[in-house]
Amino acid sequence: MPTILAADIGATNSRFAFFKGGETASLRLVNKVWLPTKEAASFAQMLERLEASDLGLALDKAGLICLAAAGPVQRGSYCQPPHVAWDIDLARDIQGLGPSLLINDFVAQAWACLSPVALGAITVLEGQADPHGARAVIGAGSNLGHAALVPDGQGGWTPVASEAGHAAFAFNGQDETAYAQFLGRELGDPYPISDTVVSGKGLSFAHQFLTGQKLEPAQVGEVLNHYPDTLHWMARFYGRACRQWALQVVALGGVYIAGGLAAKLPALVRHPAFGREFRLADRTNQVLRGIPVFLIQDENSGLWGAAAAALERLEPRG
């Protein structure tokens, strides 16, 4: 039974886990550690901190290694996460260790939908999932991640990466147009992108626009129940982002929400405004009525997905 080192490198935290399992269905999480990403000056230094942690698996003892990073992966071995000060290069950073794989962080979330962690997903919106239909995976944390699971034609699945979080966000009506102009003044960007609007920083910006209070995302989360307008706006924006991605993927197999924001603040996707916005469609998009939406509440889902990807894509050494 191979030992697996899984990593989920995000803008805020770098998560690592030690798994055991011979196949995806039997994966077992042995231990995990979270390390602040910005406290490391390089990925090599992050690995040094990992070695000094209490994870319980030395790097040179890992039978399989899968690193998931919050950014586009080039040539299958290099990633410069746009919100991290350093890069990751398998040839440079993992040289001499076990068989290794580098994937996008939301490709890992897509793999997680096929792992044991998906069994704990809760239903946000009812629907009838097509077992052979594509699945849309989306989730807000420090930014907004997207991926899809598409049938491979042989009874399996292929995860597909996306950088849709960097696309322009769709605003509607005078109030939202005023908000878009506010974001433009605050950020100096030519147009607001989904990463900005549906994310932790988006929660802070929306609250600032509506109340005048400039708070960190965690601070807004602590008082969110006292600010119904902030909750309503963010639920509506989250529902819109999920609807857009479901349509772009034709997600007849369902939409899976991952990421820390909804896991910490499930009211964002349970609020009626989320459902109303998700189901909003013209006559050509009635397919939205039947698509179910699920929430994966485990914040370590990316680690489960990285471990599943390692088992599916790599051969253990020896």
User: Which residue pairs, CB below 8 angstroms and at least 24 apart, start in 206-213?
Assistant: 206/179, 206/230, 206/233, 206/234, 206/237, 209/179, 209/182
* Per-residue confidence (pLDDT) for residue 81, from 0 to 100: 94
* Per-residue confidence (pLDDT) for residue 283, from 0 to 100: 76
- Torsion over CA: 120, 124, 127, 129 (sign): negative
Per-residue pLDDT tens for 74-86?
999 999 999 899 9
Alpha-carbon distance of 249 to 78, in angstroms, equals 26
* Per-residue confidence (pLDDT) for residue 269, from 0 to 100: 98
Q: 122-295 sits in which CATH class?
A: alpha beta
pTM of the full structure: 0.93
* Per-residue confidence (pLDDT) for residue 168, from 0 to 100: 96
Q: How far is CA 7 from CA 11, 101, 141, in A?
A: 13, 10, 16
CA proximity to 162, closest of 119, 128, 194, 120: 194
Q: 3-114+300-313 sits in which CATH class?
A: alpha beta
CA proximity to 305, closest of 3, 1, 27: 27
Alpha-carbon distance of 68 to 306, in angstroms, equals 6
Q: Averaged in consecutive runs of 10 residues, what is the pLDDT profile of the chain (318 residues)?
A: 93 94 89 96 96 94 95 94 94 91 96 93 96 96 95 92 94 97 94 96 98 97 97 98 96 95 96 96 83 96 96 77
* Per-residue confidence (pLDDT) for residue 317, from 0 to 100: 59
Alpha-carbon distance of 161 to 7, in angstroms, equals 17
The stretches of the chain forming alpha helices (DSSP H) are 43-51, 90-93, 105-112, 173-187, 194-197, 200-211, 217-223, 228-249, 260-264, 267-270, 272-279, 301-313
* Per-residue confidence (pLDDT) for residue 53, from 0 to 100: 96
Q: Rounded to an integer, what is the distance from CA 51 to the centroid of its chain? A: 26
* Per-residue confidence (pLDDT) for residue 145, from 0 to 100: 94
Q: In this structure, what DSSP letter does residue 297 have?
A: -
Q: Which residue has the tokens 């690592």?
A: 16
* Per-residue confidence (pLDDT) for residue 149, from 0 to 100: 96
* Per-residue confidence (pLDDT) for residue 95, from 0 to 100: 86
Residue 59 tokens read as: 């790097």
For the chain, the structural domain boundaries read 3-114+300-313, 122-295
Alpha-carbon distance of 259 to 140, in angstroms, equals 5
